[in-house]
Amino acid sequence: MAKKRVVILGAGFAGLQLARNIKDSEYDITLIDQYNFHQFQPLFYQVATARLEPSSISFPLRKIFQRKRNVHVRVAKVTNIDAANNVVETDECNFPYDYLVVATGCTTNFFGNKNLEQHSYPMKSTAEAVTLRNRILLNFEDALHCSADDYEGIMNIVIAGGGPTGVEMAGSLAEMKKYVLPRDYPDMDFSRLQIHLVEGGSATLAAMSKESQQKSQEYLERMGVQVWTNALVQDYDGRTITMKDGKTIRTNNLIWAAGVTGNVPAGIPKEVLVKGNRIKVDEYNRVETYPNIFALGDIAYMESKDWPKGHPQLANVAINQAKHLAKNMKRMLSGTELVKFTYKNPGTMATVGKRKAVVDLPSFSFQGFFAWTVWMFLHLMLILSVKNKLIIFINWAISYFTNDTTLRLILLPTRKQIELAQEHHQLVDN
């Protein structure tokens, strides 16, 4: 008998975890992603601030599934899902399926503001993190020969969004300002470099405990970051940020970490979409009214007794949903009854800087050095390969003892790289 065909869209935490857990089953698996590597999103900010190289947090998909003849990796962009005919359409070719798993995650939410989309710098992929690194490093090269009018804009860096990404980015930039930049640019006065963290709510890390919110803001302000709460960005023209209350900030550098929206493939009906552009699923991760389509991770919205407003969009949720669906898919092969997904929150955490982090566990919270070591250990364990774990650990150890790294490389695309990318897209389109 022909094997059941499973098509998985997205090789993030959820999609990759599912593929790895059913790779030895009787399914024929196709894993589709627009990149040929898995990206470790929690450490994008360290790539953007030149603490880690992008290869340290990325892992080739084909390497993971070597010698697995039933797993097919395809690099393509999904253009449409034809649910009536059980076909995924991409810019490469079409993929028929018996079961479809949507694990496409989230993308940056600019809330419909085209100016913000055009002029700010998001950080939702390795490529965007590298772009931001180039922007930050070029910023200070520009400061050496810019006009007086441009100097203020160069020396103001604004991060919009006080969640974990924004807090971690602000803390990393503050450490860069204190320890790294004065050594690299001894002829510049970095007391004029201002780092602003703008948060629309009343506190940073809104999803965490009051203790963690207060401590994270205290850490940031002690490090020299100017924290703006109850402050909403209304517009940005590439030179000046306009706030909703009419205040303005002159800056050439706006890092946008103020929200996400579900990355829903075309063809998913609007009737199953909910707030945040997420796909509503039942407690088996099945999309409503589509028994052979599942959704996992950040893109999935599942209401349950313990989570009436859906699960948080965290890597741990995505990984556990994928592991659970893998077990259910094996049950489907044997014809046994499926089991509902349940999730117990093990806690949340965020780091602010060296020896500074906050951790919330279900029963208590703690901050400081121990929280920082816990954060480092757990993130290191989530990295896929032993080689990458070792490289990251060595980089962190060097950074800890020297307050420096040697990774500040400005790598801009060459003409040939741009032509190669254009040629590839033309071949695919044809």
Dump pLDDT digits (tens) for 156-213: 999 999 999 999 999 999 999 999 999 999 999 999 999 999 999 999 999 999 999 9
Domain check: are 81 and 133 in the same one? no
Residue 71 covered by a domain = no
Q: Can you tell me the mean pLDDT for 362-389?
A: 93
Asked if 332 contacts 25 with a C-beta cutoff of 8 angstroms, the reply is no
Q: Does 201 share its domain with 124?
A: yes
CA distance 265 to 376: 34
In a domain, 385, yes or no: yes
Q: How many domains does the chain have?
A: 2
Return left, alpha or beta for 421; rule: phi > 0 is left, psi -120 to 50 is alpha, else beta. alpha
The answer to whether residues 157 and 209 belong to one domain is yes
Q: In this predicted structure, what is the pLDDT of residue 1?
A: 54
pLDDT of 354 strictly over 60: yes
Domain assignment present for residue 397? The answer is yes
Contact 7, 32 (CB under 8 A): yes
| pLDDT tens readout for residues 121-151 | 999 999 999 999 999 999 999 999 988 888 9
Residue 68 belongs to some domain of the structure:
no
Q: Is residue 417 part of a domain?
A: no
Q: How confident is the model at residue 427 (pLDDT cuts 50, 70, 90)?
A: low
Q: Which long-range contacts (CB under 8 A, 24 or more apart) does 221-226 make?
A: 223/171, 223/174, 223/175, 223/178, 223/352, 223/353, 224/174, 224/177, 224/178, 224/195, 225/170, 225/171, 225/173, 225/174, 225/195, 225/196, 225/197, 226/194, 226/195, 226/196, 226/197
CATH at 180: 3.50.50.100
120 and 132 in one domain?
Answer: yes
- What per-residue confidence (pLDDT) applies to 419? 86
> Do 210 and 234 have their domain in common?
yes
pLDDT mean over 29-52: 95
Q: What percent of the chain has pLDDT over 70?
A: 98
The SS3 of residue 121 is strand
Does position 374 have pLDDT exceeding 60, yes or no? yes
pLDDT for the residue numbered 426: 63
Task: Looking at the structure, tell me whether residues 126 and 141 fall in a common domain.
Answer: yes
pLDDT tens-digit map of 255-288: 999 989 999 999 999 999 999 999 999 999 999 8
Is residue 93 located within the same domain as residue 164?
A: no
Has residue 425 got a pLDDT over 70?
Answer: no
Mean pLDDT of the chain: 93
Share of the chain above pLDDT 90, in %: 89
Beta 106-108 vs 260-262: how paired, if at all? antiparallel
> For the whole model, what pTM was predicted?
0.92
Q: How far apart are CA 59 and CA 35, in angstroms?
A: 10
- Asked whether residue 430 carries a pLDDT value surpassing 60, the answer given is no
Are 244 and 138 members of one domain? yes
Considering the domain boundaries, does residue 56 fall inside one? no
Would you state the pLDDT for residue 148? 83
Q: Give the range among 104-108, 132-136, 407-411 with minimum mean pLDDT.
A: 407-411
Can you read off the two tokens belonging to residue 15?
């999609």
pLDDT band at 421 (very low <50, low <70, confident <90, very high): confident
The reply to whether 297 and 385 lie within a common domain is no
Q: Rounded distance, CA 348 to CA 211, Å?
A: 13
Q: Which domain holds residue 140?
A: 114-258+354-402
pLDDT score for 128: 95
- pLDDT over threshold 60, residue 340: yes
Any idea what the CATH number is for the domain that residue 314 is in? Answer: 3.50.50.60
381 CB neighbour count, 10 Å cutoff: 8
Give the model's pLDDT for residue 424: 72
Q: Is the residue at 245 inside a domain?
A: yes
At 79 the pLDDT is 95
d(CA 205, CA 229): 11
